[in-house]
Structure 1
């Protein structure tokens, strides 16, 4: 029996209902991610869906590089990854996964998160995490990280997740949940979030900053990634890297003019001739510009 007050229960229902979208096409979503499992709101369904979603849809920031806003309605997101043959940003992936879970009958909310990637300083709330509840237990589903956990991580201090070679853990610290992953240099804090609901309008504000601010770290060059249970492939700052969680297997430089081809061959991200030319021009224009990755650098 729940110990929440009526007001708290009402807030939780409101936080969940905002991710429910009429007419969401589950069949088209299932086809795109290759999902053929059950459709009941169980942990088994949640786990299988996150694995299929995370390993079939690449993360890409191409629209941010070109100064375009993200697609933040579920139907538009589906169009982007099917008709458009593109990857998705954090906010787009969060919107899509939350909409799918809601359509299946899960109680689903989202949380605003601070990306740490080992940083000790306070970073901005630039990330979003899907929060799902099954049989009274809460789970973090970080589908938007790109190279994050491949399964839900239970929101319990010390909980761990192991899928293939990827190991993640979550802990409670100073009123927040801190998600960490095992990487080449040991355990690295990836993100942190509090138990405060995030709404679709929050995605709009976050994406506007990341897509338009001249010092946004996502505007300089393409950052694209895909992941499976064994390894990840990442294009960042003109370098194509293949790695396991603890070892870099290969790293090669990608010339600006080769970027559209690499995007298609390595990630299945297809750019039209016009967008391909714009991306190449952007890379060349920004090649010698400084990268802004800390709050102090970004805000000037």
Structure 2
């Protein structure tokens, strides 16, 4: 896996090499997330697009649990969101969002990250996030589950107050650590990469028994009040710092919850495989 070093102070370097989405797909994508087309590729538009994406497209690992192939190509990622009305995990969600942003005129790059766990940061390419280059570089992430609702300033080392919490970005050698309420979330490699660079680790995440994505099912999205998540047969709502959980023991209830809260229609046989 190779990549050319990229620095935020190099404004003329190339961005994503694939052709942009055509106007028909851009319009369909904006309709999918319920967002208006920005008048210009600016920060206000980026903020609105990120919030809309988080509210309408779920973070979910259903494809992993169902054994469906995950194809890290822009057209395939966008088709999953638009034609199948599905979500995905980081490689899919941020990969598709990068394609939309690029088509709307934003200068966007793919960044690799190490996700922090109990034993420190995991392997590189364990997460895919986005850097959007405006007057300054911004961290954009619609594929980390519960995370910042708005773009974060990558050059700011102070506290950044977001609807989802307080975030900070710290230097760690050539990398950047992103923290939420003081707890490290992931370590960003500041070089830019391309989607094929993430394929091996994406495959591992989707197939290894050691990956947490293969061990349990989750489907989650942001709401105006907080978050709603279906984890196995547990429907979890958070609002104002309070958590409410109910068990959906009836399969029909779970199927209805996927439809009502996430817009995902599943066959009963698929539900049995999700566990």
TM range (shorter): 0.7 to 0.9
> Contact conserved, 2:176 with 2:189, CA < 8 A, in 1?
yes
> Contact conserved, 1:140 with 1:152, CA < 8 A, in 2?
yes
1:242 equivalent in structure 2: 237
Cα deviations across residues 224-245 of structure 1 (Å, max 9, x unaligned)?
1111353011223543221247
1:92 equivalent in structure 2: 92
Change (3 A) 1:115 1:20: farther
Q: Could you tell me how far apart the structure 1 residues matched to 2:226 and 2:103 are?
A: 31
Summarize the alignment of residues 197-216 of structure 1 with structure 2, pairs less than 5 Å apart: 197-216=192-211
- 1:89 offset after TM fit, Å? 1.6
1:138 aligns with 2:137: yes
Match of 1:255 among 229, 249, 254: 249
Change (3 A) 1:248 1:70: farther
1:293 equivalent in structure 2: none
TM-score when normalising by structure 1: 0.79
> Contact conserved, 2:65 with 2:274, CA < 8 A, in 1?
yes
1:105 equivalent in structure 2: 105
Cα deviations across residues 58-97 of structure 1 (Å, max 9, x unaligned)?
1110000112222433333333223312222211111111
Q: Could you tell me how far apart the structure 2 residues matched to 1:49 and 1:55 are?
A: 10
1:18 equivalent in structure 2: 17
- What SS is found at the alignment partner of 2:215? coil
- 1:180 offset after TM fit, Å? 2.0
Q: Which runs of 5+ in 1 are unaligned?
A: 284-300
Number of positions where the alignment pairs a residue of Structure 1 with one of Structure 2? 267
2:146 equivalent in structure 1: 147
- 1:211 offset after TM fit, Å? 1.4
> Contact conserved, 1:68 with 1:211, CA < 8 A, in 2?
no
- 1:138 offset after TM fit, Å? 0.6
> Contact conserved, 2:21 with 2:99, CA < 8 A, in 1?
no
- What SS is found at the alignment partner of 2:235? strand
- 1:111 offset after TM fit, Å? 0.7
- 1:50 offset after TM fit, Å? 1.1
What RMSD in Å do the two structures reach over aligned CA positions? 2.8
- 1:21 offset after TM fit, Å? 3.1
Q: Could you tell me how far apart the structure 2 residues matched to 1:163 and 1:211 are?
A: 31
- What SS is found at the alignment partner of 1:202? helix
Match of 1:278 among 249, 270, 275: 270
Q: Could you tell me how far apart the structure 2 residues matched to 1:215 and 1:88 are?
A: 19
Change (3 A) 1:146 1:165: closer
Cα deviations across residues 122-162 of structure 1 (Å, max 9, x unaligned)?
31231110111102x11110111122111110112424443
4+ residue segments displaced more than 6 Å: none
- What SS is found at the alignment partner of 1:87? coil
- What SS is found at the alignment partner of 1:38? coil
Q: Could you tell me how far apart the structure 2 residues matched to 1:23 and 1:54 are?
A: 23
> Contact conserved, 1:57 with 1:81, CA < 8 A, in 2?
yes
